[in-house]
Structures are given as structure tokens and as C-alpha cells.
């Protein structure tokens, strides 16, 4: 649903930029550490948000609260470890980084670091929410989300059905989104985490 409020958007913007940037950087950094230089060669091993932003996905995120960043390119055949295990680590890196960011920000909030200005405090609170949402949302095991690659890495043997599912992943994701299933999942998981972290 279209929902745009300039003040609210400005409060959300730092959390969105930080969350998306660190998420994609983490994917590329872990892939690089495992031997794949693809992200580095394409200028994606950076904490500058601009190379990670997809213009349409970013606009969608601001106006409709559902969007995406540019996926970091990874060649699993360049990874030093087993490709399946390597992609498991690469895929986990994004959600884990978002969760770590949420924890760090929550600790700083509890220490009163952001209390010098109400707007900055609100930005930090929203950044916690956004990073938890990104972590949980990306763990949903539907392509092209990280959760699908994590699930493929955990399951024994080959998972060719997962690759076939990728053709329908976006359709499945949109159906889950517009039927409210994803909203219920996020609310069920996120609310207890937020309640635990935020003061």
C-alpha cells in the first residue's frame, strides 16, 4: 500500500541504507574470504551504499515499504570450500550481519548514546527494527531470499528442486506478501526480538 510521509521517511532512511549496505557487503566479504573475487572486481566490497542500491527497489522500499538492493554477485565455483557449503556461509552472512547491527545499536540505545537528540534516537530505534526485519525476512526459505540458499546448504545431498523453484520464487514471494502470510511471520518472530533488545 502506498504510504509516504517525508518526516517518517527521513527517520527510516539511515536504517535502510545501513541495513542494506552492510547486508550486501557481508555477502561479498565472506565470498571474498572464501576465494571468490567477483564482488571485489565489480566494486561491491564497499560500505558506500550507492553501488548496492537498486533504484527501483530503493524507491519501492521508501514508498511501499517493500523493496530490494542489488544482489552481490557470487561465483560458487570460485569458493575454496565445497560450493554448497560455501554458499551456505555466504548466504548466512547477510542476515547475521543485520542481527549483529541490531544488537549493537540496541546496546548503544540502552547506554543513552543517542539520547542527545530525539530525532537521532528515533533513527536508531528504527534502524534496530529495520535490521531485524531484514534479518528475519531474508531467512524465509523462498528464492531469491538468502533463506533458500541456507536451506539448500543444510539439506543433505543435491537439491535440484530448489533451482527449479527459483523460476517461481518471485511469484511465491509476492503471493505470500499480499496474502499477509509474510506479515504474520515477521510479526510473530520480530516482536519478541524487538521487545528483548529495545529499552
Could you give the CA distance from residue 175 to residue 161 in angstroms, rounded to a whole number? 20
For residue 140, give the 3-state DSSP assignment: coil
Q: Which residues contact 195 (CB under 8 A, 6 or more apart)?
A: none
Residue 30's closest CA among 92, 82, 84?
92
- List, by residue number, the catalytic residues: 24
Let me know if 80 is exposed, middle or buried by CB neighbors in 10 A (0-12, 13-18, 19+): exposed
Amino acid at each position: 500500500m502506498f504510504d509516504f510521509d517525508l518526516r517518517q521517511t527521513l527517520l527510516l532512511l539511515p536504517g535502510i541504507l545501513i541495513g542494506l549496505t552492510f547486508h550486501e557487503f557481508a555477502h561479498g566479504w565472506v565470498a571474498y574470504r572464501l576465494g571468490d573475487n567477483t564482488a571485489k572486481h565489480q566494486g561491491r566490497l564497499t560500505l558506500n551504499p550507492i553501488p548496492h542500491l537498486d533504484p527501483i527497489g530503493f524507491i519501492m522500499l521508501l514508498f511501499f515499504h517493500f523493496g530490494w538492493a542489488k544482489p552481490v554477485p557470487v561465483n560458487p565455483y570460485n569458493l575454496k570450500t565445497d560450493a554448497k557449503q560455501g554458499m551456505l556461509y555466504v548466504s548466512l552472512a547477510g542476515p547475521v550481519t543485520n542481527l549483529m547491527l541490531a544488537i549493537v545499536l540496541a546496546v548503544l540505545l540502552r547506554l543513552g548514546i543517542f539520547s542527545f537528540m530525539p530525532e537521532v534516537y528515533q533513527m536508531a530505534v528504527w534502524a534496530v527494527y529495520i535490521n531485524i526485519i531484514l534479518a528475519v525476512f531474508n531467512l524465509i526459505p523462498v528464492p531469491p531470499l538468502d533463506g533458500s540458499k541456507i536451506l539448500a546448504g543444510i539439506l543433505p545431498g543435491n537439491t535440484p528442486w530448489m533451482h527449479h523453484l527459483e523460476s517461481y520464487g518471485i511469484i511465491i514471494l509476492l503471493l505470500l506478501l499480499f496474502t499477509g502470510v509474510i506479515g504474520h511471520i515477521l510479526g510473530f518472530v520480530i516482536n519478541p526480538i524487538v521487545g528483548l533488545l529495545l529499552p
